[in-house]
Amino acid sequence: MKKISKPFLPIYILTLLAIGIFIVNCKFSFADNKKPEKDSITFGAEKKPSIKKPDQFESFRNVFADIADQVIPTVVSVTSTKIDTIIYRDPFHQFFWGSPFEEFFGRPRQQQEEPEERQEERRTSGVGSGVIVSKDGYILTNYHVVGDADEITVETYNEREFEAEIVGVDSLSDVAGIKIREKVNDLPVAYLGDSDKLRPGDWVMAVGNPFNLSSTVTTGIVSALGRHQSGISMYQNFIQTDAAINPGNSGGALVNIEGELIGINTMIYTRSGGYMGIGFAIPINMARRIMEQLIYKGSVSRGWLGVQISDIDHAMKEALGLKTRKGVLINDVFNGQPAQKAGIKTGDVILTIDGIETKDANSLRNTVASITPGKKVPVEIIRNGKKMTLDVTLASRDEKEIEKLSSKEKETEESKPAEVDVTKKVGFKVGNLSKELRDRLGLDAKEKGIVVLDISPSSWAARKGLRKYDIIKKVKVQNNDFVMVDDVKVFKKVVSRAKSNDSILLYVERERNSFFIAFKVE
């Protein structure tokens, strides 16, 4: 075998590499020209999956599609536009009028003219949904969709566009009624169901225009009923659902498996701004009642009992000697109002009104509001452990009058200054209302009660909401009656009866609002 000399070795290796690269390129370039013949390849399996399905499935598979066919035409897109007039003035006018060097060279600057004003319309639009409830163009939607609108445009599923006007709005329930201005009589109409028949777990479908995506359908179930959010001054009795609801769904339809309208989608719980599995709808029975009043009368009238109320927690239940937490505690009764005239007193627990059970404060509020003002209704209460029924003639709710009643001053007698430390037993220190305390708290010279001077943050009373400078009016120890407290000595005597783990109920006033607080003895 002939040996290759060292000087020629690199050239030999490079030559072999070049030949190899040439062969590879040729191979792939030839392969690229070889394409398979049309229809020579079979794509996908020859047989569809063999899946056993129960007979019920065949009848269920098209249910939601059939519901959508019926409901989508009744849901419209609602575009509300707010128009503001903006006035502009040139902020730099004074800097560019005449020459800036005129005064420097001793020549007076030219007399300035007032800058010219310029007006411009600013239009802000938002998109929501609505449900057609009559052939001649009445549409049910949310107050927050159209409440501030100067112009309203409605677009149907088949791209018909109409101008609409507000018939009436109710901010307390977030319900609004609008009507198409053009004369129409052929619109598809939603069938109004009965939301009182709903149960948690029922199938539902939400139809609307989330993020301006028209005629969107989502499905889910009824997650809960009677939902409400604390801290919001609204009449709330929401249907909770996990059907996807997003911004733009507001005012749209929530229907049951029969295609019946059972709710108006109105709000979502979210931390991201979008769907998180919790949406809320106004029950159609509530929305319809309000809508009819808006259409026929232009306003909503609600029953008024004339009380301040609160829910009953476990400590209150024990202090009041109740068997269950069902019922609503009366915190205060307004003088001259229906409850006071009928004999209802502070500390009473309402069980039913007009035969309807009142499980909590929200349900009582909604029930009273739904009763026609002027109607005489039976109210079942518990007072000092005994049941009784009183007849109450409800008045009409007047927001301005309620505000006056809430801010009224109460006439009471002055108490002498004194202090009693009962921190070890109840977790706070109390004192009589001295002149200095009255002045500091803005109280009348005749105000009755004792004041919380200091409270341990870790005490049961603090955890239940008692604060420094709260005014204690009454006190009740478990298995005992209410006692008015106008002196700390009385309070100390009553509290001394309490044993470890007993419940104590306080009737408290804070910033002219009265309520109950219950807690366990330390």
Give the residue numbers annotated as catalytic, written as ranges. 144, 174, 250
Q: What are phi and psi for residue 392, nearest 5 degrees? A: -125, 130
How many other C-beta atoms lie within 10 A of the C-beta of residue 14? Answer: 10
Three-state DSSP at 231 gives coil
The full 3-state SS of 401-456, as one line of letters, equals HHHHHHCCCCCCCCCCCCEEECHHHHCEEEEECCHHHHHHHCCCCCCCCEEEEEEC
CA distance linking residue 30 with residue 146, whole number of Å: 69
CA distance linking residue 286 with residue 263, whole number of Å: 9
For 38, which DSSP code?
Answer: T
CA distance linking residue 496 with residue 374, whole number of Å: 47
Question: Considering Cα of 141, then 144, then 147, then 153, what sign does the dihedral take?
Answer: negative
Q: What are phi and psi for residue 250, nearest 5 degrees? A: -55, 130
Cβ-based neighbours of 59, under 8 Å, separated by 6 or more: none
CA distance linking residue 181 with residue 163, whole number of Å: 6
CA distance linking residue 426 with residue 458, whole number of Å: 11
Instruction: 269-276: list long-range contacts, CB under 8 Å, 24+ apart.
Output: 273/247, 274/246, 274/247, 275/244, 275/245, 275/246
Cβ-based neighbours of 82, under 8 Å, separated by 6 or more: 123, 124, 125, 148, 149, 150
Three-state DSSP at 292 gives helix
Q: What are phi and psi for residue 22, nearest 5 degrees? A: -60, -45
Under 8 Å between Cβ of 518 and 465:
no
Under 8 Å between Cβ of 140 and 129:
no
CA distance linking residue 209 with residue 78, whole number of Å: 9
Cα angle 458, 459, 463 (rounded to 5 degrees) comes to: 80
Under 8 Å between Cβ of 467 and 510:
yes
